[in-house]
Structures are given as structure tokens and as C-alpha cells.
Amino acid sequence: MIKMRVEGETYQVIADFFKVCYATVAYHLDKEQRMKAIDRARKSIEKNGEKPKTEAKKKYNAEYYKDRYHNDPEFRRKVIRANSGFKFKED
């Protein structure tokens, strides 16, 4: 990405080349955009009263979802659907 930007390519051309969103390219190449995104995330967490997850909670979640994926066919179908570019929840 950096090399393409130095060569004068626009963010949109870079995004199309890597098949990612324009905002992803802006986030990685523009420090100001990255800081704004981080600031928005922090404000959202503060507003919603959420706390960062502890390592124990992350480990528990990983085990829980792994177990659920392997033992719940409907959940597994939804995960596969979501990973294929669709919404997790069907409308």
C-alpha cells in the first residue's frame, strides 16, 4: 500500500487493487484517520459503559464459541453464512 501511495495512486485505486474498503486503506496510510478511528472507538466504549475484555474473558469466549460451533448445527450454518459475506442474522 505504501509503495503504491508513494507512486501516486489514490486510496480508491489501492483499495480496489487489494479488494478492501477505502476506509481500510485510509486507516493504514493516514495517521490522522487512524487516530480519529481510535478516538471514536474509545468514545463509543465510554458512552456505552463497556470495559475492555480481560484475557480470561477472551479465553472463555474463544472456548465457548468453538464448542458452540462444533455442537450447534444452526449456529455453525450462521457462522459460515456470515463468513461468506452475508449477515449473521437472516432478515
Q: What is the pLDDT of residues 17-38, one digit of tens each?
A: 999 988 899 999 999 999 999 9
What pLDDT is recorded for position 83? 83
| Residue 43 shares a structural domain with residue 12 | yes
The amino acid that residue 52 corresponds to is P
In this structure, are 61 and 25 located in the same domain?
A: no
pLDDT at residue 14 in the model: 93
Q: Which domain holds residue 85?
A: 53-91
31 and 69 inside one domain:
no
CA distances in angstroms from 62 to 5, 35, 50, 84, listed in the order given: 37, 29, 19, 20
Q: Kindly state whether residues 20 and 41 are assigned to the same domain.
A: yes
Place of cell 489514490: 10
Predicted pLDDT at 34:
92
**pLDDT at position 48:** 73
Domain count along the chain: 2
Q: Tell me the one-letter amino acid at 18.
A: F
Mean pLDDT of the chain, nearest integer: 88
Low-confidence residues of the chain, pLDDT below 70? 87-91
Do 6 and 34 lie in one domain? The reply is yes
| Pair (60, 42) in one structural domain | no
